[in-house]
Structure 1
Amino acid sequence: MSTATEHWPGPLSAAVSRLCTGLQPQVSERTAAGFAEVLRRLAAPLQVAVAGRIKSGKSTLVNALIGRRVAPTDVGECTRLVTRFQYGTVDRVEVVFRDGSKQAVPFDSDGGIPADLGVDISEVSHLEAYLTNAVLRDLTVIDTPGLGSLDAASVKRTEELLGTGEDADGELDPVSRNAVAGAEAVLYVVTQGVRADDEHALAAFTAATASREAGPVNAIGVLNKADTIEASTVDGADDDVWKAATLLAEQQAGLLKPKVADVLPVIGLLAETAESGRFTAADAEALRELAGLDEATRETMLMSADLFTSWECEVPAGTRTRLLERLDLYGIRCALEAIDAEPDITAGALRRRLRDASGLASVLHRLDTVFRARADGIKAAAALASVTALAHSSGDLGERQRVHDAIEVLLAKPEAHQLRVLEALTLVAAGAVTFPPDLAEEVMRVGSSTDPAEQLGLPGRHRRELVDHALERANWWRSFSSFGATPAQSRIAHVVHRAYFLLWQQLRAG
């Protein structure tokens, strides 16, 4: 069943597809097989891996992104497998075995992937879930088991997905397989502290994108479980949990940048409940009953999960347990505050308040601006990196030169300049080409947005001012490339100059 939609391939992806098709008769059989895989991926939506340490809440976040509680979140055999969620015209789940064979399995009674697959888990490569879900028309979401697991097999599966494992099928050597395997972008989930293995995972992502570094083009960080942060431990938070989470996310962004575009706080459980239909009218009525309790009882119950479920009150303990499982104490507090402010609030409006409180909207917005808006460029750049890696691994100097020459012809075309910009941004983000901090920041800004005002660092300014500034910076970078730059900097400067010049033309025409 194809996952391609009417959006794919985009113009840049189509150009790289033509390049691969034209090169296939000119390269070895092994390289041509790798090109075939590149072509298949170019015709599909952007592949986004949700990665991070074990128990960071990845699967819960996946459910929130998809808007359906389909990924298993309880510890079980499925949580030790890589699962690819992609668009399909009929909902179904397939177990893909290491020998390439497949077996369909039914969803469980709640519409999720079953906890017990009924197969030998050691023989399973990964799961493929096809869903009739609009979100998946232009993004394939890949749920990973997580790094830091005590289960070595789970870690191996994740590393294979990220491109660091050994070749499993013997058809391609490890370098070739890594060149065509893995995700094109990553949503990296952290909790309260960034650790060495977080940086290791982002380094592993380099292999997943054929040695293209994770960076602001293709990686976003998410601080999950933001409601568990002790606000009193974060300076400047003023005992406000969400403010504490925002400040902590900014600190983590400082540690992980430029490997990620940003780090955003989110409460995955609250987002999952609000987005997946788990929050019901009955839940809203139970919350309304809780809101009617006297203040002292309410405050006592909200002190801890144990007190919330065990304290004597009119609302049944089972109902309170269900609310706790779906909202946790933070979400319950948010709901009660909303009811206090608007006693007649509907269940639908209350669900929307909870979604707003989860921080999911900001994550979805960044997915749109960082991934979706430049998906064609991300896919094309990753494909070119794969093509280059395949040619280099062949050991044939003539083949390598033919591929190199074909790529240079493609990149020389004006319509392919976005690929040059993404390449420049990646080199600067990785530290492969160094600039003074202010110039490095400017390169990152120009390449990390599709909004002209944001690219120019002048949000909210009048178009005339944007036009003038774009021309001024185009001239400055042209001069710098000729007189003030090292050879490596000069190559980047030429790209930035061209980006500003094209931006100037775009703004004038608008």
Structure 2
Amino acid sequence: MTTATGRQLAGPLSAAVANLCVSLQPQVSPETAAGFREVLRRLSAPLQVAIAGRIKSGKSTLVNALIGRRVAPTAVGECTRLVTRFQYGTVDRIEVIFTDGRKQVLPFDAAGMIPASLGVDVDEVSHIEAYLTNAVLRDLTVIDTPGLGSLDAASVARTEALLGAAGDLDPVSRNAVAGAEAVLYVVTQGVRADDHQALAAFTAATASREAGPVNAIAVLNKADTIAPESVDGSDGDTWKAALLIAEKQAQILKPRVADVLPVIGLVAESAETGGFTSADADALRRIAELDAATLDMMLMSADLFTSWECEVPAGVRAGLMERLDLYGVRCALTALAAEPAITAGALRRKLLDSSGLDGVRAKLNAVFRVRADGIKAAAALASVTALAQASGDAGERQRVHNAIEVLLAKPEAHQLRLLEALTLVTSGAVAMPPDLVEEVLRVGGTPHVPDQLGLRGRPLPELTAYALERAGWWRSFASFGATPAQSRVAHVVHRAYFLIWQQLRGGGQR
């Protein structure tokens, strides 16, 4: 389905919510109707993914790597205090959006980046819209945010507003305009209380009525800085240590995120944005030819790598350290030792492989892109509900509530019912035994049938039989063992298993 503007919607759920907004507009106040029009605009736009996290966690570096172009400033400056939305455009340009609605168009700087100074009073700026002729952004808008935990209160407020944590904004701005629909949350080795709070606020503002691991994943950035000797079971391997820490963090952040993945943002940015050049490959090739004793000494620390006397100029080595750090240099030298004639392009690919960026992209596809229809529809319904509640008109609230209930009763909207059940359980609104919470989380937290059943790699007959057996169990539980609140969730889970069984019986397996 397409909207009146001719833009394609993400899928049938988004179309159903769009139709709901159109049909309700004549039945609500002009203010609420204006909010509904903004919801319609957002429904037809690409999925909005915010890159959020604490200050100095490497968010902008990761933004550049994901976009494939070094455009987001990574040094401290004006722009790191502002929310910046990177989206597709036919002409590269920057729009500075002021809090009073004014716009000022600026070019990118000579290096193709957002200028370090905007030449305006940053306190009067709402956010920056950056348009790029980049295919990655055709179906994904990437939003760079100021770091949480900053000493700059205004910057933190901007991020909290985007994530839905600011309670003093008007409802249109908070729920329909400012909020992203999904978040890639960046952590380093320590997960703090405000990380939990920011994720809780974000998911409550964007998911269907509460929170859940449907529209949030986390990355453990700067994985190369982990000391493997400090992690039991790592066998001295840095990447294995990072995977183990990421697993622990996934348990800590559960159920707020779908997963935690390790990544080395600096190496990913350099390899993906053209920061790693053929000259860098040549310099590494010369370093690889040094005698073993010299090389071992240089690789003991970043300081020794740049200061130790050798035929490769210190400035060249310092540049390698800025773009790859010691871990990336070691990975490149390992690749050169295994294949001395490796090309610069192949070496760049090896570095990209070592960064973990492909894993992050795959997870983005699995959690966000594949489920964009459900994520966008759930976020839109949350906005519609909030807009109606803010109107102060009891009749208006009831009309909107009734329309949403009619929508949710439709078979194609069962995905939204499942998301709602998941969030009721994971938020603690409906108490259930831990094993049933895990099952609801599994069924509602992934779009892939074998993972929903917890039977990845099993044959189709086994999947089919298990889906039917669990459908029957949840139906019995809903009727004979559940509280009224639990029964509501159980009926939804029963229906989910039954639909899976129907799909598998027809030979389908997502």
* Alignment TM-score, normalising by the size of structure 1: 0.96
Aligned positions of 1:62-461 closer than 5 A: 62-165=63-166, 174-180=170-176, 181-206=178-203, 208-209=205-206, 212-461=209-458
Please state how far the C-alpha of 1:430 moved relative to its aligned partner: 1.5
Q: Is the 8 A contact 1:214 1:260 kept in 2?
A: no
Instruction: Kindly provide the CA deviation profile for residues 419-459 of structure 1, in whole angstroms up to 9, marking residues without a partner as x.
Output: 11111112222122122121111111111111111111111
Aligned partners of 1:104 and 1:358: how far apart in 2?
A: 35
- d(CA) in 1 for partners of 2:217, 2:181: 12
C-alpha separation in 2, matches of 1:240 and 1:382: 41
Deviation at 1:43?
0.9
1:31 match: 32
5+ long unaligned stretches in structure 1: 168-172
Q: 1:392-445 CA distances to partner (integer Å, 9 max, x unpaired)?
A: 121211111111111111111111111111111122221221221211111111
Q: CA deviation at 1:178?
A: 2.3
Q: 1:170 aligns to what?
A: none
Q: Secondary structure at the match of 2:14?
A: helix
Letter in structure 2 aligned against 1:86: Q
Task: Report the CA distance shift for 1:7/1:357 in structure 2 as closer, same or farther (over 3 A).
Answer: farther
Correspondence for 1:19: 20
Give the deviation of 1:163 after TM superposition.
Answer: 2.5
Q: Secondary structure at the match of 1:394?
A: coil
Deviation for aligned residue 1:317:
1.3
Report how far residue 164 of structure 1 moved: 3.0
Alignment partner of 1:486 is 2:483: yes
Indicate conservation of the 8 Å contact 1:178/1:210, yes or no: no
Q: Which amino acid aligns with 2:82?
A: L
User: 2:390 is paired with a residue of what secondary structure?
Assistant: helix
* Contact 1:183/1:208, CA 8 A, preserved across alignment: no
| CA drift at 1:177 | 3.3
| SS of match in other structure, 2:368 | helix
Q: Partner amino acid for 2:276? A: F
Contact preservation (8 Å) 2:8, 2:44: no
CA contact (8 A) 1:7 1:138 kept: no
C-alpha deviation, 1:215, in angstroms: 2.3
Q: Secondary structure at the match of 1:497?
A: helix
CA distance in 2 between partners of 1:224 and 1:62 (Å): 12
The TM-score with structure 2 as length reference comes to: 0.96
Say if 1:399 and 1:250 are closer, same or farther in 2 by CA, change over 3 A.
same
| Amino acid of the structure 2 residue aligned with 1:159 | E
- Alpha-carbon spacing, 1:262–1:501, altered in 2? closer, same or farther (3 Å): same
Question: Residue 126 of structure 1 aligns to a residue in which SS?
Answer: strand
Structure 1 residue 6 displacement after superposition = 5.7
Q: Distance in 1 between matches of 2:72 and 2:98?
A: 19
In the TM superposition, residue 206 of structure 1 has moved relative to its aligned partner by 4.0
Which one-letter code corresponds to 1:492 in the other structure? V
Contact 1:178–1:207 (CA under 8 A) maintained in structure 2: no
Task: Report the CA distance shift for 1:212/1:144 in structure 2 as closer, same or farther (over 3 A).
Answer: farther
Aligned residue-pair number: 503
Identical positions, percent: 76
Residue identity in the other structure for 1:102: K
Structure 2 unaligned residues grouped into runs of 5+: none
Distance change in 2, residues 1:265/1:454 (3 Å): same
1:263-322 deviation line (CA, Å, top 9, x unaligned): 111100011111111111111111111100011111111112121111111111111111
